[in-house]
Structure 1
């Protein structure tokens, strides 16, 4: 049975924050390949941990 969402998101974990910061840094510098790798890392992290 699926758990119903309360509509509120919990605070992001430390690893989510680290990945997001690295993604934004890569995006700011225009490194699209690195930014894409961070998007992939977030997807893997999210599926594995959350």
Structure 2
């Protein structure tokens, strides 16, 4: 991830997930010493079940 300056894509479902991202659904990980960007992708229950 660091070598190619990539973005980690992760599913999110809880309220805490939504509260901890920026307006682009991204958060730096780990928060105390950011090394990469995690981007949340919000999916409905139907999308997850497919």
Bigger radius of gyration among the two: 1
- Which is strand-richer, 1 or 2? 2
TM-score by length of 1: 0.25
Say which structure, 1 or 2, has more relative contact order (CA 8 Å, 6+ apart).
Answer: 2
